Chains A and B, each alone.
Chain A
């Protein structure tokens, strides 16, 4: 009965709640979309993966998106939570919904269409449909430009994405990974194939793949994959990429986030892959 009363209250209060005032955004790409739609002033918190634009990191961090604390999130009094598809644990999400918070889970597809869907859903949830349409239009236009450059490539370069290089073990991005998706958007082909996701790859497979370019994330600290590490690695160091010095490092969230900056990421990667094509 109480639940029905609550639902009824929410339904009748609908028009008044049209512009949710306190929004929590979970997921780097989601946060970027919220900012791009001009709703940044409504954000009261974000998750660990939301790092762009940098000023967003001044907001409270509710933790890792798959291990949320229901009470921590409620403490911020949100009336809308925009979350990437993996947000959890399910119990925390259920509790948040029970507390009367609108919880919108976004599609998580690492593709151009996936970004367009995310923009549309966030736009509806924030009651910013027009801004969302404008953002989608500019996103499409930028994507078209990238597609044009990528389409002009005669012989696509074979790119190996190295996620990490711990204890000499190469973790590469394979079939269906967001790394593969962005490499293809930039007009390259993924040199690591055979299994789904990010996986350790044997040295021999790397030698056999012999990529033209090695792509990494330019992060700092222990997880960083440095140029020196790559050149010193028994397999990576022998590849065409290493011998030709074709090592590309890019910002991880930009590269793999699949948000509104994806055309920029694809364009930057394209330029890095085909420097000779630059006018």
Chain B
């Protein structure tokens, strides 16, 4: 029974369509490039060869592959998939192609949580600080994301019904409030903290650790597996709330699940990797462009493309200024913003002008 309710989307039972195959191929290539390329010049074939022939692999090569590139790859896959799927769900829920998880306060809340921790962690009792260690900021970011989401949901719910319009407006108000509080903390921050919070805002996959991946995976994994179940509801919702309800969809339950799913996905992604923009907006757009608006395929494809693109963006971030590295949010914005503009122009039918 659990199996049927967890059934894979229809699209995955049918033979793989070309788009899906292409995305899987892209993902595999991105993953191989990510593992095989980097400043340290450790190549995958060489290490695999050594491993197969039983030759000893140097500590440095092992650390580079297993402690640096592999966790980064895993985090890139997770965060990219989470951001893209969260964006696709939000756009479906709001029936607005500009929606991203930021609208329900995930970004603002996470930002406030992270900045608060960067600036105020000095005031925490040493035992608590020691217990969380490098986790302090991710945990606070996730806490902030969830607090903001739940608060908004409370505000937008009345008598068991959630008003999408109120959710949107309250989201704007809450983002402004969180922005102001972040501003106060920024003002209080010292020189070094200012730099830390600037870098947090630009995102990075550099902090990948086994524990972070485990906890992030426990949040993102189930949420990714469950979101395809929203596909039918989101498809119906595209026709309007009333129509969807007439078609027999429990719209309130759909909204509830969509918001929880997005908060888990985007909250965990932001907590792990900081501020990474444009993946959530651009990936669903590209896919609607290439494969149509059906959420049954869109949600799965978004996970694949989001993961592949973020891994490639990280590769660029690691290589362009090696031995230093760029914050990944800069790369996603530089690549994502022009693509987004291009899509908008095409949508307007101005492509030939």
B69 at the interface (CB under 8 A from A): yes
Task: Kindly identify which residue among B67, B208, B325 contacts A69, using a CB–CB cutoff of 8 Å.
Answer: B325
> Would A67 and B190 count as touching, CB distance under 8 A?
no
* Least Cβ–Cβ distance between B4 and chain A, in angstroms: 42
Question: Which of the four size classes fits the interface of chain A?
Answer: 35 or more
Task: Kindly identify which residue among B41, B192, B208, B209 contacts A66, using a CB–CB cutoff of 8 Å.
Answer: B192
> Would B134 and A74 count as touching, CB distance under 8 A?
no
CA distance A61 to B325 in the complex (A): 10
Task: Kindly identify which residue among B40, B190, B195, B207 contacts A91, using a CB–CB cutoff of 8 Å.
Answer: B207
Query: Which residues of chain A (47-84) have a CB below 8 Å from chain B?
Result: 48, 60-64, 66-77
> Would B59 and A63 count as touching, CB distance under 8 A?
no
Task: Kindly identify which residue among A60, A66, A94, A196 contacts B323, using a CB–CB cutoff of 8 Å.
Answer: A60
B-side contacts of A156, CB under 8 Å:
none
A6 at the interface (CB under 8 A from B): yes
CA distance A27 to B39 in the complex (A): 21
Task: Kindly identify which residue among B69, B187, B191, B199 contacts A71, using a CB–CB cutoff of 8 Å.
Answer: B69
CA distance A201 to B281 in the complex (A): 39
Bits for A91-114, please: 1 = Cβ < 8 Å to B, else 0.
110110011100000000000000
B-side contacts of A72, CB under 8 Å:
39-40, 318, 322-325
Task: Kindly identify which residue among B60, B187, B195 contacts A74, using a CB–CB cutoff of 8 Å.
Answer: B60
B64 at the interface (CB under 8 A from A): yes
Query: Which residues of chain A (179-211) have a CB below 8 Å from chain B?
Result: 196-200
**Which of B41, B133, B206, B209 is most buried by chain A, counting CB atoms within 10 A of its CB?**
B206
> Would A89 and B40 count as touching, CB distance under 8 A?
no
Task: Kindly identify which residue among A62, A66, A91, A98 contacts B63, using a CB–CB cutoff of 8 Å.
Answer: A98
B24 at the interface (CB under 8 A from A): no
> Would B40 and A71 count as touching, CB distance under 8 A?
yes
Bits for B25-49, please: 1 = Cβ < 8 Å to A, else 0.
0000000000000111100000000
* Least Cβ–Cβ distance between A231 and chain B, in angstroms: 27
CA distance A89 to B60 in the complex (A): 19
CA distance A61 to B40 in the complex (A): 14
> Would B196 and A71 count as touching, CB distance under 8 A?
no
* Least Cβ–Cβ distance between B325 and chain A, in angstroms: 4
A235 at the interface (CB under 8 A from B): no
Residue of B nearest to A89 (CB): B207
CA distance A67 to B195 in the complex (A): 9
> Would A91 and B208 count as touching, CB distance under 8 A?
yes
Bits for B226-251, please: 1 = Cβ < 8 Å to A, else 0.
00000000000000000000000000
B residues sitting closer than 8 Å to A (CB atoms) are 38-41, 59-60, 63-64, 67-69, 133-134, 187, 190-192, 195-196, 199, 204, 206-209, 318, 321-325, 327
User: Would you give 20 A-B contacts (Cβ < 8 Å), ordered by A?
Assistant: A63-B325, A64-B195, A64-B324, A67-B199, A67-B204, A68-B324, A69-B325, A71-B38, A71-B40, A75-B41, A76-B323, A89-B206, A90-B134, A91-B209, A98-B67, A99-B63, A99-B67, A100-B60, A177-B191, A197-B190
Q: Which 7 A-B pairs have the closest CB atoms?
A: A63-B324, A72-B323, A69-B325, A99-B63, A75-B39, A197-B190, A75-B40
A residues sitting closer than 8 Å to B (CB atoms) are 6, 45, 48, 60-64, 66-77, 86, 89-92, 94-95, 98-100, 177, 196-200
